[in-house]
Amino acid sequence: MANIVIFGAPGVGKGTQAKLLAEKYDLLHISTGDLLRQEVQMQTPVGQRAQAIINRGDLVGDDIVVPLLDRALRLRSTHPDPDSQIDPWDRQIHGAPHRPEGCIIDGFPRTVPQAQTLEFLFRRMKRRIDLVLAIEVSRNELVRRIHERAAISGRTDDTEEVIRHRLDLYDRQTQPVLNYYRVSGLLVSVDGSGEIPDTNTLLCRVIDSKRKKQTLNKQ
């Protein structure tokens, strides 16, 4: 198993967990939030368009986020990006070239059409999504965590009004994606109300179980 989507509401901690899982299972971590924030920081035309949308707490449109994700993914496809100078799949470990087994995607998809777009991008690479991990946390706990994060990071999109708007938007637009993946049999939900190590242990159990089943099926 190589390609995972990690899913959850704002403040659930999916970015933190994605980084931990990427390191443990040798996966490339692709965060659409990080991709967008990089564009904003560099003040690119895409970043300038995205900044106001992010500050309102709205979802950045597919016309912005899909090309960024496509560029990050297709470096491994049969149609590489000729304008890219760096292949994020390439790493140096102990001075030797190394490529991770697969990837873990954080922050995408957030709508059913985006889920269908992601499947298309993977098919083009002759790959597939192997597992969708959904981290579940109560609304009150999410608000508390986002406030805590805002105090540390100073993110401009972590105000009370924006937090509530983002969570309402998640319920309306993103929850249907869970049903989409549930029907496909890819979705596994995990309780994320505990501390970071506790949630990570639960996620690792799911991944290890999935990998074991895949190994047995190949024998």
pLDDT reading at 214 higher than 90: no
How many other C-beta atoms are found inside a 10 Å radius of the C-beta of residue 108?
Answer: 24
What's the whole-number mean pLDDT along residues 166-185? 89
Q: Are 50 and 39 within 8 A, CB to CB?
A: yes
Cα 139–Cα 141–Cα 146 angle in degrees, nearest 5: 95
φ/ψ (deg, to 5) at 121: -60, -40
Per the omega criterion (within 30 degrees of 0), is the bond before 67 cis?
Answer: no
User: Tokens standing for 143?
Assistant: 């608000």
Superfamily of domain 3-218 in CATH is: P-loop containing nucleotide triphosphate hydrolases (3.40.50.300)
Distance CA 139, CA 143 (A): 6
Task: Give pLDDT tens digits for 11-53.
Answer: 899 999 999 999 999 898 999 988 998 898 888 888 888 888 8
- pLDDT, mean over the chain: 83
Residue type, 8: G
Q: Are 202 and 45 within 8 A, CB to CB?
A: no
Distance CA 34, CA 116 (A): 22
Q: Where are the domains of the chain?
A: 3-218
Distance CA 133, CA 131 (A): 6
Task: Give pLDDT tens digits for 107-160.
Answer: 999 899 999 999 999 988 888 999 999 999 998 888 888 878 777 766 655 677
Quick check: pTM over 0.95? Answer: no
pLDDT tier for residue 1 given thresholds of 50, 70 and 90 = low
3-state secondary structure of 126: coil
Taking Cα atoms as reference points, which of 169, 137, 145, 150 lies closest to residue 56?
169
Question: What is the rounded radius of gyration, in angstroms, for the C-alpha atoms of the chain?
Answer: 17
Say which residue, 149 or 7, is predicted with more confidence: 7
Task: Give pLDDT tens digits for 19-28.
Answer: 999 999 989 8
> Tokens 């899982």 label which residue?
21
3-state secondary structure of 2: coil
